[in-house]
Structure 1
Amino acid sequence: MSKQNLAKNIRELRTRKGLSQELLAEKSKVSLRTVQRIENGETEPRGDTLIRLSEVLDVAPEDLMDWEAEEDKGFLMSLNLSSLGFIVFPLLGIIIPLIMWISKKGRLKQIDQLAKNVLNFQITWTIVLLLTYIWLIGSTYYRLHQSGDVSLSILGNPVYKIIAIGGLYLYNIVLVVRNTFRINQGNEARYLPKIRFVR
């Protein structure tokens, strides 16, 4: 591998990890000037320097020499579909994609952007679902308190409860399936609305 390719790999991995040159130098205990020279292609890391850099960048030294982000549309589609775990339990729609992202972070093209979109949407959706449940329970309690009729308060109006909860679940399912098709066609997944919890 040429020094330029190695320099590009180190620079790209460092950027994907969100590290500055200064932080990479500090964590790897390599001088900042050495990191700068490596990334500029002026020198090639060997031995201990290569090992230290690879440990901070979370790759094996031999992988660092040959590293190149791969394209794996199948894995991206699987990560996207894994968020359907929310059907079983809402938090699974966050946990499963998060585990899949961590397992391939920095190794696949577009995985960081997709994972952040999926996680931000699923976290937002879970919060909205929780608030909806709180609203439904609160409204039932309020009716009980106002009317004193236990049967009315427990049953309430089941139609709007089904519409509220069912609508949230249906929207999430449709969005996940639609984005899976978008990924398969090489397009970017679009998840709205979402709050940027993961940056």
Structure 2
Amino acid sequence: MKNTELAKRIKALRSRKGMSQEELAEVSQLSLRTIQRIEGGETEARGDTLQRLAKALNISPDELIDWAENEDRGFLVVLNLSALSFIAFPILGIVVPLALWMLKKDKIKYVNETGKKLLNFQISWCILASFFTIFPMIIQIFHIGGSLFRAFQVFNLGAIEAFILMVPILYSVNLAFIIVNTIRSYNFQKVYYKPAIPFLR
């Protein structure tokens, strides 16, 4: 659990109760500097310190810890599910998770690792999808002299069959990986997005 997550929870609870840092320090019998360091994410409340803070905020220590873990879990689920945007347009399956990953990669546990694996898979998937959909059309255009209209006219039956067959398979595989890894993230298990080219390490 990251110090910043617990720090946010303690600060939020203190503010909700209308307490200043000085008042929380007094009620919890901790030094003001300790409260400042905890809320600043410089140190993590443990043991007796956590017990005192929880008592002063009228909440159990487990609730403080569970809140931070649940926030982590919720964001990991959202990060994985954000890749479903590939259904609307393939590139969105990269752009949306990338934005979320950049936002929280250094702030929430497991986000950096999960985000890299997810993005590597989505980029690899887009390349593979392009190979089976866009590239055959480009080759066909060059083969018949550069006319897009003519390419559609003479697009051979084999290429059409490959397109019709591969697109549902590629989309189904991507969808399955996202769903399985969303469940794994919810259970704090490592995600498995393979095979993938390691663009992000």
- CA shift at 1:172, angstroms? 0.4
- CA shift at 1:162, angstroms? 1.1
Q: Distance in 2 between matches of 1:179 and 1:155?
A: 38
* Per-residue CA distance 1:126-168 (angstroms, 9 max, x = gap): 11112222443156458868xxx98872362433211112211
Q: Distance in 1 between matches of 2:134 and 2:44?
A: 48
TM-score, normalised relative to structure 2: 0.58
Unmatched segments (≥5 aa) in structure 1: 1-8, 10-45, 47-60
Unmatched segments (≥5 aa) in structure 2: 4-32, 46-67
- The answer to whether the Cα contact below 8 Å between 2:116 and 2:200 also exists between their aligned partners in 1 is yes
| Corresponding residue of 2:84 | 84
SS class of match (1:79): helix
| Corresponding residue of 2:171 | 169
Alignment match of 1:186 (pick from 185, 188, 192):
188
* Per-residue CA distance 1:12-32 (angstroms, 9 max, x = gap): xxxxxxxxxxxxxxxxxxxxx
- The answer to whether the Cα contact below 8 Å between 1:144 and 1:152 also exists between their aligned partners in 2 is no
Q: Distance in 1 between matches of 2:101 and 2:42?
A: 23
Identical residues among aligned pairs (%): 34
Question: Residues 11-160 of structure 1 correspond to what in structure 2 (within 5 A)?
Answer: 63-66=40-43, 70-71=68-69, 72-138=72-138, 140-141=140-141, 153-154=154-155, 156-157=157-158, 158-160=160-162
Q: Which AA in structure 2 matches 1:95?
A: V
Deviates more, 1:125-134 or 1:85-94: 125-134
